[in-house]
Amino acid sequence: MGIRAVINAPDWSPKHHRGEAKCRDESLTPSRRRDIFFSDETFALDVCNGTYDGAICPRRAECLHVAMVNRENYGIWGGMTPEARLALRMRYPAMPERWTWHPPSDDVTPEQQETQWPHAS
């Protein structure tokens, strides 16, 4: 029995109309010695969410969707840690239209952030 993706990953290359995914940058390309998206979560989050260079990955939403549907348990996908993706899935089970995420702004308190989306009933 093998692992099978529910949906295949989209074309992350620069040919796509939204542009190339930031994880495909040559300086970030995984190697046998280093893969920031699995070993250095803080840096990977900074790259994906734009705190590293000021530009959010143009493919972040698609990446998160692929990870959520395929139940990726490891690494940074769509700018979220495995724990954050699990929390999102638990909060909105069977509601993929709610499986979106944006970096929280500094001026939003945790209470406001919590009430931003009503709990699923």
- Per-residue pLDDT tens over the stretch 83-105: 999 988 888 888 888 888 655 44
- Per-residue pLDDT tens over the stretch 107-120: 444 454 444 444 44
Instruction: Give me the long-range contacts of 77-80 (CB less than 8 A, separation at least 24).
Output: 77/37, 78/48, 79/45, 79/48, 79/49, 79/103
At 113, list the tokens.
């952030």
Range 54-60 average pLDDT: 88
Contacts of 37 (CB under 8 A, 6+ apart): 23, 30, 44, 75, 76, 77
What gap in Å lies between CA 94 and CA 38, rounded to an integer?
26
% of the chain residues with pLDDT over 90 = 4
